[in-house]
Structure 1
Amino acid sequence: MKQLTAKEVEKLLQEGKQLNIIDVREADEVAAGKIPGAINIPLGLLEFRMNELDKNKEYILVCRSGGRSGRAAQLLESHGYHVINMTGGMLEWEGPVE
């Protein structure tokens, strides 16, 4: 599984890269702040909503610390999606939030 640190993801955004970020935390966690532009699909719903995703795109998965996003990455990868896990999660995110 591919991985990027929170710093690496922040740098890509600063460079103006168009990233597809999925935040797999619960809605109440996301309400406290998420990476701008990230889509919230809680881990428990991911299996039921993966049909909303495009297998031709690459997705960066984010959670609080990197554990749930790692499980989400494994799930999506097993279904043929291109994914990257953001290690350290929002605990290590120092960039802007919305």
Structure 2
Amino acid sequence: MDNIETITTDELQEKLEAGEKLELVDVREDEEVAEGMIPGARHIRMGTIPENLDKFDKDTEYIFICRSGGRSHNVCLYLQDQGYKVRNMVGGMMNWSGETK
């Protein structure tokens, strides 16, 4: 069962521009996020997600971000198994045309 909800980079950008409060989590490595993250995203490296489960709330939906959408998809699979609400940003930061900080 691989039915992970997704969001496109354009959809995400529209929601952020409309002022929606979203929980964004960037799972890339430190040197990758140094090149720029979506404003408001939290950085939790993919490898440290299991030890950071206490930072997630099962009533909240989280949108996961990586470079191309592959790692974030795997994080979504893992967290969905644990009972969390997740959504994968397809295309990742390679596809992101919005602002970064």
TM-score for both structures, normalised by structure 2:
0.95
Instruction: Answer yes or no: is 1:41 the counterpart of 2:44.
Output: yes
Structure 1 SS opposite 2:54: helix
Matching residue's letter, 2:55:
E
How far did 1:74 drift? 0.4
Q: Which runs of 4+ in 1 moved over 6 A?
A: none
RMSD: 0.5
Answer yes or no: is 1:68 the counterpart of 2:71.
yes
Kindly indicate whether residue 14 of structure 2 is the aligned counterpart of residue 11 of structure 1: yes
Amino acid in the other structure paired with 1:76: L
- Tell me which moved more, 49-58 or 83-92: 49-58
Q: Take 1:53 and 1:33, find their aligned partners in 2: how far apart are those partners?
A: 23
TM-score normalized with structure 1 length:
0.98
- Aligned match for 1:84, one of 54, 65, 87: 87
- Give the whole-Å Cα distance in 2 for the aligned partners of 1:37 and 1:27: 16
Count of matched residue positions in the alignment of Structure 1 and Structure 2: 98
* 1:9-30 alpha-carbon deviations (Å, 9 max, x no partner): 1111011100000000011100
